[in-house]
Amino acid sequence: MSDLARLEASLGTSFKNKALLEQALTHRSYLNEHPEFKFGHNERLEFLGDAVLEIVITEHLFINYPDTPEGDLTNWRASLVNARMLYLVADTLGVEDFLLLSKGEAKDKNTKARQYILANSIEAIIGAIYLDQGIEPAKKFIASHIVSHLDEILKNELYLDPKSRFQEISQEKEGITPVYKTIKEEGPDHEKLFTVGLYLGEELISTGDGFSKQEAQVKAAEAGLAKKGW
């Protein structure tokens, strides 16, 4: 069995055009060292897959939860399509073994940047499935590997916004409104990593990293809730 065939078995789908799957696994950095590579990197597929994922999740929630307010559905959707969830999906499927990366990126394992590369690869794979086979196989993949986590999310209320929770509790318990400050920015513009600090008054409670300030703030709030035992 070829490498791509092993991945296809893990994904639960067989590609007509194997080049689409290979492109979905190709990080921009790989092309810097392999300019002859003919398929291109995965960012356009990621762009498409993000849109497919969003509409499939939205449709599922809209149809299956007719009495749920829009605000709750928005939070539920966010919990299914965020980078942490997609990274967990990629990790479960063993996608990392098949990524095409530069030598530098390949060495940089177990980092936030690698987690985001893996999360993005899931969106690219969804885009590739959509182009290769259409919307129904893409829906099947999303249902099997992403929507399947919804029951656990609802049961454990994992959809609640960490920033809102931290602010409500900190105001109630300590009478202080939390403030988020950007501590550091690093990396190229297309993949800039932000580190944000969560403060109560002058006290630094926690930090969080993300490829947007909003994402880093959410991570800091999650860490703050854990540190405070809230």
Which active-site residues does the annotation give?
Answer: 50, 123
Does residue 209 contact residue 194 with C-beta atoms inside 8 Å?
Answer: yes
Q: Which amino acid is at 32?
A: N
Amino acid occupying residue 104: G
**Single-letter amino acid, residue 165:** R
Spatial contact of 154 and 76, defined as CB atoms under 8 Å apart: yes
**Nearest Cα to Cα of residue 76 among 153, 155, 166, 162:** 153
Tokens for 3, please give them.
């490498």
Q: From CA 82, how far away is CA 88, in angstroms rounded? A: 10
Work out the widest C-alpha separation in the chain, in whole angstroms: 61
